[in-house]
Structure 1
Amino acid sequence: MPQTEADAALSALLHPRSVAVVGASDDPSRIGGRPIAAMLERGFGGRIFPVNPKRPSIQGLPAFAGVADLPETPDAAIIAVPPAAAEAALQDLAERGTRAAILFTAGFAEMGAEGAAAQARLVAIARRRGMRLLGPNSLGLLNTANGFYGTFTSSLERGYPVPGPIGIASQSGAYGMHLFSMARDLGMGLSCSITTGNEADLTVGDFIAWMAQDPNTEVIAAYSEGIRDGDRFLAALELARRNRKPVVIMKVGRSALGRAAAQSHTASLAGDDAVTDAVLGEFGVVRARTTEELLDIARLATRKIYPVGNTLGVLTVSGGAGVLVSDAADAAGLPMPPMPEAAQAALHRDLPFCAPQNPVDCTAQVLNDLTLVGRFGEALLGEGGYRSALLFFTHAGGAPSITPRLREQLRTLRSRYPDRLMVLCVLADPPQIRQFEDDGFAVFADPSRAVAAIHAMGRFGEAFAAGPVQAPTPGPLLEWPDATPSEAEAKRLLASGGIVAAPERACASAEEAAAAAASLGFPVVLKILSRDILHKSEIGGVLLGVPDAAAVRDGFELLMHRAAEAAPAARLEGVLVAKQLSGGVECILGVHRDPVFGPVALFGLGGIFVEVLRDVALRRCPFGEAEAEAMIRSIRGAPLLQGARGRPPADIPALARMLSRLSLLAHAAGPRLASIDLNPVFAMPAGEGAFAADAVIEIAKDAP
């Protein structure tokens, strides 16, 4: 039973007992005729009410002149009329009490400001009556469970899908149906396929949430150009994880060109791609790079084996294939530990010319003795203990003289280890492939694609096992300024939130600066102090290693002169004198407000590691110290913090505390905070702390 009004409306949309088709056509090849023809052909169990004032009947069904003439209030409606008529039709349906509507009609927000205003009127009409909208500019949806085909896709002319456990949600209509068509042609069982179009109301996230609760959907595949409502989207991902429903998504808009195309196509905000990667990873969602990869992962996920601590064992008849698989696994980060020494020795005794390490190459000798498959497979899974197995038999597996005996060996292996993920690489005719799949094996032709899919199953398994992260204790509510503060003000503010800076003094004169330097201890750092000059190094506003009082006085005058020349309108407060730290590792910590997901924290090593290598970790705020430490240890340069090449290990716990506190402050600040940059932060040797040497806080100009 539906638990909320939103659930009830989506149930009405996907499981309607009755549906009105406004703009119905007697021609089954026209947009207004295709859904009626499909529903009639597939035996839709509900009532269909064609609405067309020019015809008494449509495709053998009684037609009605208008919505007011319908014999009952339909649960759902399909609107297939031009934009000028769509608004009136929606108004009529809302007044009748229809729960949900699919708008095929295009020409709204994707066309510019005028279209966006018209789209906003549609939403206002629907919300006044508690109605939900799919679209506009949507290709519709289909639900194989009840034969509801509320779509005008021409793909159905080539066939209908086999009912099954995979659900598809796509923002793009044409590409969503491209995914649907490929899945159908591959024989993948589908529960539903939904295209959301402009997402004036309902989004891909809403349908991920619906599929996460749908008993007919076990695997969720999605295509997105831009995430319109970050909170609803994340709630949907968490619901899917909690219900152990794997989500694989193709999120496009990685490049600047791609983001521009997404904006013009569906009036979407694509957001920052690196942030999207980090957020999807947080919820255990796998991001597919290609359509083939998305379908590969969805297909393998229907086996419902999601290994925790995934490792790959490979049994092959080809040494070359073993090398290929090893390369693919290494690139993906999928561990392939070697077989135990004792197991290798036993395999050598069984077949002296085998290669038993992992990959385990039992050679073409299996053509003479197929029992080798069982013996070597037993060693691989029993003694090797791999959570996943890739079994490469190439064309030999599809040879009629071999297939029956190979199946017998493999079935025994499958029955012995039902909890292991087993994938075959064979080239065979479709009937043979179906036999292998019926025996419990996923079948791939390309071993590299198989490796990518196997790796994804492990990522799902880790996410399901981890569960939701415990929310950290909220951070303090600070009094954020109305405008961007100076560096000294920024550090004072952050210090009240527990973020420690290097010892320093703000000085308004050269003599004051010399006295401050003497008390701090030489050498010192001098920095121009002005809330109007945030990026000081760009104007020569930073002096390092200032050795004595005389140099401090000269440096004070030099910085004031440079600032006056480079930024004559800037308000100069003087110079910041700071103790110069040494012996630590330079890092960068920061937060910026993502337009979709809110504040996102960044960690990386300073210098070229950020500017050139872009070796950083990102995470949505807020998070605790354990998550912060995991971020720190995840970057490629982490060994430099852990004591590589004889360096003392850095105080990683102190760094993690600072990073976590930064995330808590940013989350509590709300939308008025645009960004915080702490660069550099010195991670001192273990036990000596971490100190921010520079701090920039930017307040959003349009913040409430």
Structure 2
Amino acid sequence: MKNNDTENNGVRFGSRQAFNKALLNPASVALIGASSNQKKNTARPLRFMQKHGFDGDIYPVNPSTEHISGVKTFSSIEQLPDGVDHAFVMIDSASVNGVIEQCAARGIGMVTIYSDGFAEAGEEGQHKQQILNETARKLGVRVLGPNSIGLANVHSGAVISVNAAFEMENLVPGDIGIISQSGSMMGSLMSRAAARGFGFSHLVSVGNESDITVGEILDAMVDDDATKVILLFLETLRDAPTLGRALQRARKAGKPVIAYKLGRSEQGDALSQSHTGAIAGNDAAVDAFFRAYGVIRVTMLEALFEVAPLAARYAKLRPQNHGDEPVRLAVITTTGGGAATVVDNLGLRGFVAVAPPAGFVSHMASRGLNIRQTPVIDLTLAASSEQYQDLLQEILQTDWCDAVLCIAGSSAQFHPQYVVQPILNAVSTEHGNRKPLVAFLSPEATASLQLLQENGIAAFRTPESCADALAAFFVPQENTQCEQAQPVQLPAGCPATGNLSEPEAMALFQDLGIDTVQYDMVQPQAAAHTIDYPVVLKVVSREILHKTEAGGVRVGIDSDEALARALDKMADDVKTHVPQAEIDGYMVQKMEGRLIELLLGYRDDPLVGPTVMLGAGGITAELMPDFSLRLAPVNEQTAWQMIREVRQTQLVRGYRQLPEGDCHALARAIVAFSHLALIESQPVLEAEINPLFVRQDGVVAVDAVVRLQEKSQLQ
């Protein structure tokens, strides 16, 4: 099993600090396979480090030449001096395994592998990567990659990378760290952001993540003094437990983590084939993971770095709890049309531009500035820069808005002192950081953008990225701490793997503390029961989880005679639809009343682990998805947040004076259901209550599905 604990990194690294130094802050680098041909990619790392001022030791390994760019080469790894911190491997994949052995023999414990032809190349490459992993693990060598375009420490100039983006004349050092699962996107992000004046501490391309994962790199950046904000470009999640622990440390250290992840669309997201997964999908599980750990997830690539100053400056002002009220924005503009584009995009994200109250309007009039009580405060040609600054300072002290958005027109392009300097002056005052303040510049105004960014004010070029960044910032940081819960056991007699029967699933839910419908088991020839009419009749079989499609459900049965006919008809229908299914019997259930039907789903997601979902229930649940998803288990506070996020629950939460349901019982049921995550001996792969009836006096589960992990999944 791979060891991803950075506090115990194999033979080479006995401490977190040693691992972090070798990965992010090496003082000496071996370039294995360095070329003297400057046209080749393998010549770039040496050229980049010379160009960008790396003052550590560089050891090119090339048996064909004695010097490259004035630096002495070594004919083999065996000839390298002691104490090399980091090796960058740029040779054919067939020879990489031997290089790992040679690095271990020379005491080099950190190796980045640029070579490709491993897991990304198909079955043969996967086998080569497995052998590589086994060799490195046995020898205590940590591997970044393979198929990694490399990494860079911008402050020291240790550019251990072949990425052409480092050809730029000047690397701008800063406090933003980037971790990317795409090597080409690492360079793209750096060049885009650098053009806007953003500076970086470290940039890391993870490649195939055969050993060192995003989580370990992020963990190292949490300890890095030069890094204040961490950006993630992700294609998937690997090793979620390690990533989760690193995100917890980042949150505790006050270092915001901002993520852009591919796969939001159905085409881009590998949807699960399960009933519950088909509603939520893997991307919803990733969203739940990010929310649980306070990650700011953006949907626009430009917003990934544009939101960094907002996250860094106002990290402590991110909301902690969900509320039913939208985020209130005070919008001040010097351009009417520009304001409309931003406010429109923010409205689509649920924000509200609020008008200043009458008292504030009077207060500003007394200070010499006449504004109107409208949702957008338009200062076009109506205020001096001093009055603009005074208005901002006064708004920052008020309670009638949650954030301030400053929108600038042509002045930003030609006269930054009129619209940018007042912003800088306002935020530098005593009350300057009481609430988030951001700027949108309607024209292309490079100088103003850089001036704002240099002073830690988030500034945006497009209304879409501005709205995206604010929406991501205001997603509440959830309290995911759950009360210490006792381990859960399956009821006696349950199978070790596969599907539970519905009676077994009902018994499990009862053990968790969820009320279930009353029922009796019957057979076609023995239909006696104790349930009052009218009743529901359902087939019981481990092989028929969704009974409606198999003709295995009848409702509204009102007599013994009707029940006998329904039993015979159901037996025939089920045999027609699923002739091979083994039938355990039939359930006669009480017909329960309800206000609404909901769905409770549980899934051990392959990317993020156990998740719990609340959604609109019934047979139409998949047609119009309306759900909320979280990592499991959850506490009651999170359960209430889930209830508020499902639109259907408005019908039992006081909507238009309709009867109110027992949402307290619903919240308790969500918490109890999420405790399926605490079953360890026979892990649950999927579970579902659909429907869960919400009544005025409680909730009741009327259908139960549980699928355990198969033996092959437990190995």
Task: Show the counterpart of 1:266.
Answer: none
Distance, in Å, in 2 between the alignment partners of 1:255 and 1:503 is: 41
Secondary structure of 1:35's aligned partner: helix
Secondary structure of 1:364's aligned partner: coil
1:21, 1:51 within 8 Å by CA — same for their partners in 2? yes
Task: Show the counterpart of 2:257.
Answer: 247
Task: Show the counterpart of 2:206.
Answer: 196
2:80, 2:106 within 8 Å by CA — same for their partners in 1? no
1:223, 1:250 within 8 Å by CA — same for their partners in 2? yes
1:653-668 equivalences under 5 Å are 653-668=664-679
2:89, 2:112 within 8 Å by CA — same for their partners in 1? yes
TM-score w.r.t. length of structure 1: 0.90
Equivalent position amino acid for 2:490 in 1: L
How big is the shift at 1:608? Answer: 6.7
Distance, in Å, in 2 between the alignment partners of 1:438 and 1:172 is: 28
Distance, in Å, in 2 between the alignment partners of 1:108 and 1:249 is: 26
> 2:491 aligned with 1:507, yes or no?
no
Secondary structure of 1:637's aligned partner: helix
Task: Show the counterpart of 1:358.
Answer: 375
How big is the shift at 1:412? Answer: 4.3
Distance, in Å, in 2 between the alignment partners of 1:595 and 1:444 is: 36
Equivalent position amino acid for 2:171 in 1: P
RMSD: 2.6
Secondary structure of 2:592's aligned partner: coil
1:165, 1:302 within 8 Å by CA — same for their partners in 2? no
1:329-340 equivalences under 5 Å are 329-340=346-357
Distance, in Å, in 2 between the alignment partners of 1:300 and 1:308 is: 10
1:278-677 equivalences under 5 Å are 278-304=288-314, 306-309=316-319, 311-346=328-363, 354-366=371-383, 369-383=384-398, 385-400=400-415, 403-406=416-419, 409-416=422-429, 417-419=431-433, 420-426=435-441, 427=443, 430-437=446-453, 441-459=457-475, 462-463=476-477, 469-479=481-491, 480-482=494-496, 483-510=498-525, 512-513=526-527, 515-516=528-529, 519-607=530-618, 610-669=621-680, 672-677=683-688
Mean CA deviation greater in 210-219 or 154-163: 154-163
Inter-CA distance 155–415: structure 2 relative to 1 (3 Å threshold):
closer
Secondary structure of 2:437's aligned partner: strand
Secondary structure of 1:675's aligned partner: strand
Which is bigger in relative contact order (C-alpha 8 A, separation at least 6)? 2
Return 5+ residue gaps in structure 1 as ranges: 262-270
Task: Show the counterpart of 1:695.
Answer: 704
Distance, in Å, in 2 between the alignment partners of 1:328 and 1:306 is: 25
How big is the shift at 1:345? Answer: 4.4
1:242, 1:467 within 8 Å by CA — same for their partners in 2? no
Task: Show the counterpart of 2:239.
Answer: 229
How big is the shift at 1:677? Answer: 1.2
1:22, 1:50 within 8 Å by CA — same for their partners in 2? yes
Inter-CA distance 406–672: structure 2 relative to 1 (3 Å threshold):
closer
Distance, in Å, in 2 between the alignment partners of 1:67 and 1:104 is: 17
For each residue in 1:266-291, what CA deviation from the matched residue of structure 2 results, as whole angstroms up to 9, or x when unmatched? xxxxx811111111112121222221
Equivalent position amino acid for 2:234 in 1: S
Return 5+ residue gaps in structure 2 as ranges: 1-5, 9-13, 272-280, 320-326
1:9, 1:131 within 8 Å by CA — same for their partners in 2? no
Distance, in Å, in 2 between the alignment partners of 1:256 and 1:33 is: 41
For each residue in 1:124-161, what CA deviation from the matched residue of structure 2 results, as whole angstroms up to 9, or x when unmatched? 12111221101111100000122211001111223332
Distance, in Å, in 1 between the alignment partners of 2:631 and 2:85 is: 39
Distance, in Å, in 2 between the alignment partners of 1:696 and 1:212 is: 42
230, 237, 262: which is aligned to 1:220? Answer: 230
1:28, 1:36 within 8 Å by CA — same for their partners in 2? no
Distance, in Å, in 2 between the alignment partners of 1:148 and 1:412 is: 37
Equivalent position amino acid for 2:501 in 1: S
How big is the shift at 1:473? Answer: 1.6
How big is the shift at 1:607? Answer: 3.2
Equivalent position amino acid for 2:117 in 1: G
Inter-CA distance 497–160: structure 2 relative to 1 (3 Å threshold):
same
How big is the shift at 1:468? Answer: 5.5
2:306, 2:459 within 8 Å by CA — same for their partners in 1? no
How big is the shift at 1:384? Answer: 5.2
1:36-55 equivalences under 5 Å are 36-55=46-65
Secondary structure of 1:275's aligned partner: helix
For each residue in 1:24-52, what CA deviation from the matched residue of structure 2 results, as whole angstroms up to 9, or x when unmatched? 11234422221111112222222111111
Distance, in Å, in 2 between the alignment partners of 1:12 and 1:212 is: 15
Task: Show the counterpart of 1:268.
Answer: none
Inter-CA distance 374–672: structure 2 relative to 1 (3 Å threshold):
closer
Inter-CA distance 435–694: structure 2 relative to 1 (3 Å threshold):
closer
Equivalent position amino acid for 2:519 in 1: E
Equivalent position amino acid for 2:58 in 1: I
How big is the shift at 1:630? Answer: 1.8
How big is the shift at 1:689? Answer: 1.7
How big is the shift at 1:435? Answer: 4.2
1:43, 1:147 within 8 Å by CA — same for their partners in 2? yes
Sequence identity of aligned pairs in percent? 31
Mean CA deviation greater in 481-490 or 92-101: 481-490
- Alignment length, in residue pairs? 680
Inter-CA distance 437–219: structure 2 relative to 1 (3 Å threshold):
closer
1:252, 1:258 within 8 Å by CA — same for their partners in 2? yes
Task: Show the counterpart of 2:11.
Answer: none
1:240, 1:246 within 8 Å by CA — same for their partners in 2? yes
* Structure 1 residue runs of 4 or more that deviate by more than 6 Å after TM superposition: 348-353
Distance, in Å, in 1 between the alignment partners of 2:266 and 2:417 is: 53
Secondary structure of 2:579's aligned partner: coil
1:250, 1:287 within 8 Å by CA — same for their partners in 2? yes
TM-score w.r.t. length of structure 2: 0.89
Inter-CA distance 549–293: structure 2 relative to 1 (3 Å threshold):
same
Secondary structure of 2:98's aligned partner: helix
